[in-house]
Structure 1
Amino acid sequence: MDIIIGIILGIVEGLTEFAPVSSTGHMILVGHLLGFDGTVRATTFEVIVQLGSILAVVFVFWKRILSILGLYKMEAKEQGAGKLRYTHILIGILPFFIFGAIFYDFIKGLFSPQIVVISLIAGGVLMLAAEFLRTPKPNAMTLDQITYKQALGMGLFQCFALIPGFSRMGATLSGGLLIGMNHKTASEFSFIMAVPIMVAASGKDLLENWSHLSVSDLPLFITGFLTAFIVALIAIKFFLNLINKIKLVPFALYRFVLAILVWIFIL
């Protein structure tokens, strides 16, 4: 049963982590349906599978990440010449860490299906607003055209993702569109910002819960981690091609439908 749960939730995490539909919300809901929630084991598992997803980001964007760290020089024919710097990332993630630290205990108490339903709807409304109010002619068409002001703006929108079910990707992508980025650039910057945020958050939770784990948990964790990594690896590339074609409206409508179904059948 652990293997089956690991595969199912690994697939859910990999498919939803980098789509604007809220991976946390889906993990809470699916975990609730499977009866796998409310324990330290379940909470730690969510941390493990998130690390699998973030490893997929590192795998896909390894050149860009090493370039930001000054460990790789990108060629002119590649996407930019290294104008996106680590300072852009720091500015982008700083608001999330500040608000996360201040409201940490409060946020931990929000993990419930009821909050997820509200957040799914609120996030969907924001996405629709961003799609219809976005700048007709974006000034950031690539990662290397992002300004520090835009990095900060996207970082502030990212704080909405502290609420379970809101979706970090949905919040940042909406913010990116409203402050002058195109869909692809906002998506890629969101992916890269996710690396330090998810590593830090997951690492903290993992260290806090490590003493509660046992060797018997390894099959579950390994299965979930590998499944999330493989599925996320495919999902990232698919999403980057998809988002420029269908935009945010279908994802917003999906969130509304999901919220209604959860309200009817779970709450």
Structure 2
Amino acid sequence: MDQYLVAVVVGIVEGLTEFLPVSSTGHMIIVGHLLGFDGHVADVFDVFVQLGAILSVIFIYKERFYRFFTKDGWDMHKGLSVWHIAAGIVPVMAVAYVGYSYIKQYLFSPFTVAIGLVLGGLLLMLAERLTKGRETELVDDVDKISIRQALWVGVFQFLSLWPGFSRSGSTIAGGLIVGLSRQAAASYTFLIAVPLMFVACTYDLLKNLAYLNKDDLIVLGIGFVVSFFVAYWSVLWFLKFLHKYDLTSFAWYRIALAFVTYWYFYM
């Protein structure tokens, strides 16, 4: 397949899946295998399109990110603060740094992705089951999240280190379990994704930039732009979706995709 078309396809997949609870990493691994898109250039490309998705969230929540750089943004008694963001990302960043090599070497395959898709889907179902009938008790405003809840969401984020589990799936499900509404959990998930993904992407880029040449820059640029616009509309659609529906449909999609993946690659 033409490399420019590959850039568009992968950019669309990344933009659609990065912030939905379906595992963007899992989808990228599967699509990469299907397209024969692998190697160091593919690794850098996957990271670069993630940066496009990150930028879309910064654009959507620009007022809130601006507030984090003000005095009020550091006051945990005046709504969501930098401390709430730190509570949700620092623990998983530490674990990811220690386990980076192992994760990259042993967990990036269609088989491990299929396992993560199923387990993550079951977690979403469990979270919905535990909160059913308790909707009025849940924290429905991201500015009312406690430090304790933020920390617990960060603990659930450990699960996302297994490709296929989904970072957003793990944190949204974890948010529901610790008392957040779907909307509050999703908004918090998107906000903590930015610094976490930025650090992870920068780390990956620095490790692989030496393998790029000038011809690769156009491909990276196409993927970045496509990912930005698709992720922008994907996030807005998902936030509207959560006002009317629960996460069960995503859980069933994940399980179905896991079985299709296993059948295609191993049967």
Query: If the length of structure 1 is used for normalisation, what is the TM-score?
Result: 0.94
Q: Which residue of 2 aligns with 1:166?
A: 165
Q: Which residue of 2 aligns with 1:76?
A: none
1:61 lines up with 2:58 in the alignment? no
CA distance in 1, matches of 2:88, 2:100: 19
5 Å matches for 1:83-162? Answer: 83-109=79-105, 110-134=107-131, 136=134, 137-162=136-161
Q: Deviations over 1:91-136 (max 9, x none)?
A: 1101111111221111112111010000000100111000101271
Q: Deviations over 1:240-263 (max 9, x none)?
A: 000232211000000011011111
CA distance in 1, matches of 2:198, 2:108: 20
Give the aligned CA root-mean-square deviation in angstroms: 1.4
Q: How many residues are matched?
A: 259
CA distance in 1, matches of 2:219, 2:199: 22
Change (3 A) 1:239 1:204: same
* Preserved contact between residue 72 and residue 78 of structure 2 (Cα < 8 Å): no
Q: Which residue of 1 aligns with 2:46?
A: 46
Q: Which residue of 2 aligns with 1:196?
A: 195
**TM superposition outliers: structure 1 runs of 4+ over 4 Å:** none
CA distance in 2, matches of 1:12, 1:243: 21
* Preserved contact between residue 92 and residue 154 of structure 1 (Cα < 8 Å): yes
CA distance in 2, matches of 1:124, 1:55: 27
Where does structure 1 lack aligned partners over 5 or more consecutive residues?
74-80
CA distance in 2, matches of 1:182, 1:139: 5
* Preserved contact between residue 10 and residue 227 of structure 1 (Cα < 8 Å): yes
* Preserved contact between residue 13 and residue 24 of structure 2 (Cα < 8 Å): yes
How far has the Cα of 1:68 moved from its partner? 2.1
Q: Deviations over 1:13-72 (max 9, x none)?
A: 0000010000000011011101102x0001100000000000000000000111122178
Q: Which residue of 1 aligns with 2:214?
A: 215
Q: Deviations over 1:121-168 (max 9, x none)?
A: 010011100010127133421111000000000000011111111100
Q: Which residue of 2 aligns with 1:252?
A: 251
Q: Which residue of 2 aligns with 1:181?
A: 180
CA distance in 2, matches of 1:3, 1:219: 8
CA distance in 2, matches of 1:140, 1:94: 23
* Preserved contact between residue 182 and residue 242 of structure 2 (Cα < 8 Å): yes
CA distance in 1, matches of 2:221, 2:242: 31
Where does structure 2 lack aligned partners over 5 or more consecutive residues?
none
Q: Which residue of 2 aligns with 1:2?
A: 3
CA distance in 2, matches of 1:18, 1:86: 21
How far has the Cα of 1:83 moved from its partner? 1.1
